[in-house]
Amino acid sequence: MIRTVLLAALTLPCAVLAQGEYPRDAPLENVSYGYADVLRVDPIYQTTIVREPREECFEEPTTYRERSGGDATGGTVLGAIIGGVIGNKVGRGDGRRAATAAGAVIGGAIGHDIDKNNGSQPGREYRGTRQECRVVEVERQVREVAGYDVEYRYRGEVFMSRLNYDPGQRLRIRVSVAPVE
């Protein structure tokens, strides 16, 4: 029994080759390559929406408030200088130095108070603007080429294909020949 099966297995490939089947190393289909003349190329467009972050800045009206009458350094220094000059004009000798020192101290105190109050109540308000910025998503439409409808002629026949590139004036094609069953 085993001899019969083994003998059948060895003779079967020979019988298949004798019936006209393709040998194992033969190609399964007839394929060649050629070139076709391009007749027309029409780009196909698609519109997509693109979202991009963008910073928007604007001026915001605001009110500023001082906690106290303001910075009195300038008034103190100016008052001390003026008081010292006036005190220097009064007196002679050692009294002049004492009058200059006293005038500087008194003038500094007066200048400090005047500058601190600046003629109004502490806690003054100022109106102005400040810049505010925020990031927002901005949408825009983008028109892009999605492909190309290509009309071409090969051996007198006209064909149409959609490609993802512009082939130019000539298009390389794959030609496959098979019998109709």
Domain ranges of the chain: 67-123
The secondary structure of 110-142 as a DSSP string is HHHHHHHHTTS-SS-EEEEEEEEEEEEEEEEEE
What pLDDT was estimated at residue 8? 46
CA neighbours within 13 Å on the CB side: how many for 15? 6
Q: Which of 66, 57, 63 is nearest to 128 (CA)?
A: 63
d(CA 8, CA 20): 19
What pLDDT was estimated at residue 21? 54
H helix count then E strand count, the chain: 3, 4
The segments of the chain whose pLDDT lies below 50 read 1, 3-20, 120
What pLDDT was estimated at residue 14? 47
What pLDDT was estimated at residue 108? 75
What pLDDT was estimated at residue 66? 67
Provide the CA 171 distance to its chain's centre, in angstroms.
38
d(CA 60, CA 90): 55
pLDDT digits (tens, 9 = 90+) for 129-147: 889 999 999 999 999 999 9
